Amino acid sequence: MFDHDRPEEECGIIGIVSKDRKFNAASNIHIGLYALQHRGQESAGIATYQDEYLHIKRGKGLLRDVFKPADFENLSGNVGIGHVRYSTTGSGYAQNVQPILARYWGGMMAISHNGNIVNCKELMEQVVQRGSIVRSSSDTELILHLISIQKERDTLKAILGVLNKLQGAYSMVLIANGKLIGIRDPFGFRPLVLGKIDNGYVISSESAALDVMDAVFEKDIKPGEIIISDGSELKSIDFKKDERNALCVFEYIYFARADSVIDGTSVYEVRKRLGKELARLNNVSADVVIPVPDSGITTAIGFAREADIPFEIGLLKNPYVGRTFIHPGQSERDMRVKLKLNPIRSVVKGKRVAVVDDSIVRGTTSQRIVKLIREAGAREVHMFISSPPITHPCFFGIDTSIKKTLIASRNSVEEIRLFLGVDTLSYMTMEGLSKAAGKSLDELCYACFNGDYPVPVIEDSEEGKLLLEDYRVLEM
């Protein structure tokens, strides 16, 4: 949240189709995307399809910056897809803003993607060598190119041929031949759900979007499943082979909205159980439990109940301070944390304070938060983190891709404690995490805690960075 000192989600996606040709897909997608704004704040876009034409509006910024009421008159069509983006593979350049459209041998196609293709560089090289002109640096455009060069001239078979080549994380929605297609990779790294509306269907990254779109939850799209619908019929194809499931465990810890249900499990309940588990694993001596808002709130509720210690709001968040420029000076960064969070002195003064947070990436923000709490008069500060130490970068769509920036990759827990300036520092264990999520260790991805990547990745020896060429395009 601050200076990217949290793992950042890459994207949120929505697709909708109705058999009613007067249905305005765009305005419904727009409403749904608001429920996914937490998954990406750098750009937003909606594409719709009508009478063999695609209409699109996309741009940089939040949804409220990109869309104006008049846009929805132009975005006609009963099928559409939408996207909110926080860039990792490919930069935040305008060319990478999604959805991406293309004409191919089957007509017009549009695509929105959440995740990261780890063999992107190798595949991109193949399409360039075959003569394609690549105009963006995103792995999403790569998918369109791969579809276009398939020998198979049936769209669905061509897509299946491409999926065989892709390695990594991808939940995506496409418009092809006027139909809506939803695809979740065989590991199921990113969530994807199917909902029902009158006369049609919705596909979304999270179930919270279905609620605001008045859609009824139908099911989680399974890892390795393709859904195709024209609004009337719904077809499902299973392309999973023997891959294990590997839903990103951070969806439960931090990324997803607490009101979403992922793969049958309520995010809110998992966070509460994480708090309980964290309290059970530690001998907590404190006068008050406070969360780091907003993501630590639910976990702190569970923690306080289990430890039988009063829960209080000890840090107030200013919701009007959005992303700001990253300033180089240390004092500027301190100021930014101060702008976003302010301690409530009466809650922490003279107390032994247990602070509950979800993760520590670089540690700099946590250090500043501790400083604020101490300056407000706390007698002791004990920090409880609901994830294990992040020791490895993520290559599946989360912005923690440089190993040396991860404080736990080069410091012991005791060294981190000293750096943060807390009296005690306690992390969640992998087993505790698995228990709270109600899923076995081999059903989730935990690679950023143990380096056990479900898909092989090539790390740069110096920085632990994915060897992935960024096809940089100068801003127009």
Write down the least CB distance from residue 121 to ligand SF4, Å.
19
Asked if residue 248 binds ligand SF4 (CB under 6 A), the reply is yes
- The CA-based dihedral angle spanning residues 309, 311, 315, 321, taken in that order and rounded to the nearest 10 degrees: 150
Binding segment for ligand SF4 (CB under 6 A), chosen from 123-131, 391-399, 416-424, 429-437, is 391-399
Least distance between ligand SF4 and beta carbon 12 (Å)? 16
Contact between 188 and 246 (Cβ < 8 Å): yes
Q: In the set 47, 221, 447, 455, which binds ligand SF4 (CB under 6 A)?
A: 447
Residue 297 within binding range of ligand SF4, rule CB under 6 A: no
Is 250 a binding residue for ligand SF4 by CB under 6 A? The answer is yes
> Cβ 36 to ligand SF4, closest distance in Å?
18
Q: Any contact of residue 396 with ligand SF4 (CB under 6 A)?
A: yes
Residue 248 or 383: the one with the smaller Cβ distance to ligand SF4 is: 248
455 binds ligand SF4 (CB under 6 A): no
What is the spatial distance between Cα 336 and Cα 406, in angstroms, rounded to a whole number?
21
Question: Based on CB atoms, which residue is closest to ligand SF4, 201 or 250?
Answer: 250
Residues shown for the chain? 476
Q: What is the identity of the amino acid at 202?
A: V
Distances (CA, A) of 371 to 300, 342, 407, 421, 422: 20, 11, 18, 8, 9
DSSP string, 324-359: -PPPSSHHHHHHHHHHHEEE-HHHHTTSEEEEEES-
- Residue 429 CB coordination number (10 Å): 15
DSSP 8-state class, residue 442: G
| Residue 474 CB burial class (10 angstroms; 0-12, 13-18, ≥19) | exposed
Q: Which is nearer to ligand SF4, 200 or 464 (CB)?
A: 464
Q: Shortest distance, CB of residue 394 to ligand SF4, whole angstroms?
A: 3
Binding mask 406-445 for ligand SF4 (x = CB under 6 A): ---------------------------------------x
Please, what sign has the CA dihedral across residues 403, 407, 408, 411?
positive
Choose between 7 and 15: whose C-beta lies nearer to ligand SF4. 7
Q: Is 394 in the site for ligand SF4 (CB under 6 A)?
A: yes
Q: Could you give the CA distance from residue 476 to residue 467 in angstroms, rounded to a whole number?
A: 27
448 noted as active-site residue = no
Q: Which residues bind ligand SF4 (CB under 6 A)?
A: 7, 189, 248-250, 394, 396, 398, 445-448
Active site residues: 11
